[in-house]
Structures are given as C-alpha cells and as structure tokens.
A = this chain, B = another copy of it.
Amino acid sequence: MLQIALLGCGRIGQLHAATIAAHPGCALAAVHDVHAPAAEALAQRHGARAVASAEAILASQDIDAVLIATATETHADFIERAVAAGKPALCEKPIDLSLARVRECAARIAGSPVPVQIGFNRRFDAGHRAARDAVRAGEIGTLHQVIVTSRDPAMPPRAYYEAAGGLLRDMTIHDFDLARFMLGAEPVEVFAMAGGLIDPGLMAEIGDHDSAMILLRTEDGTQCHINNSRTAVYGYDQRVEALGTGGMVVSGNRTPHEMRRYGAQGVETAPPYLFFFTERYGAAFTAQLASFVQAVEAGRPPEVGFEDGHRALALAEAAYLSLKERRMVHVSEVA
C-alpha cells in the first residue's frame, strides 16, 4: 500500500486527494499546503495528517511518494527536492512556464532512478487511449493526419488567466501532449494562429488569447491540427481524430447518461456533454494514479515522464515564436 503525500491542497489538489483516497492500492498519508487551514481541512476529510512543512514530508520515512499539485512556479523545485529525497513524484503539468527552468531541472535530476511522472491525465482517458492503441496496432494503416479538438466549457476568471502563463502554455499544452501521444513521433514544425474572440478586451489588456488553431508536422510529414476555445456552451469538448491509409478512429465526447429526446423540433437530442475535466477526466485521473502506483511499485519508468513535460512546453514555446513571426517554426529553434 503506497503511502502518498499530497503537496498543494487547492482545487486540483483536492481532486487528487479524493482520487488517492479512493484508490485501493495506495493511501493518502499526508497533505501539505502553504495555507495551513486548506491542508487541515483536506486532511480531516480523508483521514490523513496535515504537515506544515514540505521538507518534513520529503524527509518522512513513511511517505513512499509525493503528488505535486502546488502553484506552477514551485513544480520544478519540488521535483528536484523529491528526486533528491528519493521520493517518486507525480507532478501536475506544466513543469514550469519557463523552458530554461525546465532544462535546468532536467539537468539536475539527470541520471537519477527516482521516477517522475507528469500529470498529462488525458492520456489515460479510455477513449483517447483506445484510439492511440488502435493507431499503434496498425488498425488504420499508416497514420497521416491527427486532429485534436479541445474546448473548455467556459472562460476562467481573470485571476486564473493572469497566473496561467498564456493559453498555449496552460491549455494547449495538454493538446500538444495528446498530439505527441497520438502521433507516436515528435512534431518538429509548428504554426500557430491565436486571438481574443471571446473576450477581446480582456485578451488585449493582458496580452493573451482565448481561441487558437495550430498546425504541427512530424519529421516524416504526418500532419496534425489542434483547435482550442475557452468557451463551448454545449460542454467540455474533447475529441481526437486519427486518419490513416486504412481508416479512421475518433475518440469523442461523453454525455452524462444515455437518455435521448425526440420532439417536433428535433430528434436524438442528448444532454450536454460532461461539464469539465473533473467530470470528463475523473476516471482518467484514477487511471493515471494507478499507472503511477504500478510504475513505482514495479520499479519501472512512468508512462508519462519528465521529458514529455519538457517537449510539450517546447512545442508551446515554438508556437509562441510562430505567433510572433507569423511563420512555421522548427522546434529546434527553441529547443
């Protein structure tokens, strides 16, 4: 029974706490947050202990692994400290908003056998994974095109936007990872188009985007398109499509249940898609944790490693350079 300590008790930390607590193969041993009452409340809810100091957690003999769900700017630091302390870590994405910092972190943990998994939970969605598996198994022949549609249900608050590091590093980074997961090869070229279509005023003011379309290409020419929007009133829209010489697979959206309406105005109407990531990817969070626990217990590298976090961020950086220079950018230009 793997004893896991949670660092960070905010929204996503609470989701991870519940996932850990419900998982039969591990236990939520301890929780920590810079804001002590948050840790205490979460500890109480799950029968864990609240620990005031992260250092104490990393030094604790009865903690087997850590889940890092703190503020983004502390991720790299905690990864380094966890590796130094010999604690396997499952860290929320992104590793850092700065590619230089990610590289520094990579250099510092290089050679260590301590597993570090990055929280690209979508890879564990049953539909996306079945699509990836079908592609790898050759079901659609040679892969030619991948299309990732990724739209949040509603605009986050301004405070979130200001801290998130930009649409492409915060939101699209999941899609860059999903594209890599589907492609099975590294995208080497990136072109990006982005704008403020939903809230042009706010986007102009904070220099960010709420809508984007991106093209990627791998060394062997496989093509990929990603589209993003911060608003989709019909529910969280998360689709992946892969076209090959032998067919196509599509991983689509899930409705909360299978009741359909038929009336004079329209037929086959389903309820809106699952609202957001806690609903849509709840099972994926569980599967991600299970994969982490298995990797730690089996002493093998995690399914989604540090380098995956690195490469997704490099794609985001290349996309920002493309946005600026309005041209195709080779990933080597930023890497």
A233 CA / B224 CA spacing, docked (Å) = 19
Minimum CB–CB distance for A251 against chain B, Å? 5
A188 to B261, CA, bound (A): 28
Copies of the protein in its oligomer: 4
CB of A43, distance to nearest CB on chain B (Å): 16
- Shortest CB-to-CB span from A193 to chain B, Å, is 5
| 11 interchain pairs, CB-CB under 8 A | A127-B259, A191-B328, A193-B217, A193-B223, A197-B222, A223-B227, A234-B248, A248-B261, A248-B262, A250-B259, A250-B262
The chain B residue sitting closest to A250, CB to CB, is B260
How far, in whole Å, are A243 and B231 apart by their CA atoms in the complex?
Answer: 9
The distance from the CB of A218 to the nearest CB of chain B, in whole angstroms, is 11
Contact of A221 among B197, B254, B271, B327 (CB under 8 A): B197
Which B residues are in CB contact (< 8 Å) with A265?
269, 272
Restricting to A123-162, which residues have a CB under 8 Å from any CB of B? 125-128, 130-131, 134, 139-140, 142, 144-145, 147, 149, 151
Interface: A38 (CB within 8 A):
no
Tell me the complex Cα distance, A61–B273, Å.
46
Q: Is A229 an interface residue (CB 8 A)?
A: yes
Task: Determine if A245 is an interface residue (Cβ-Cβ < 8 Å).
Answer: yes
- Rounded to whole angstroms, the CA-CA distance of A140 and B253 in the bound complex is 19
Known: A191-B215, A249-B259. A144 touches B198 (CB 8 A): yes
Does the CB pair B245–A262 fall under 8 Å? no
Whether A272 pairs with B268 at a CB distance below 8 angstroms is no
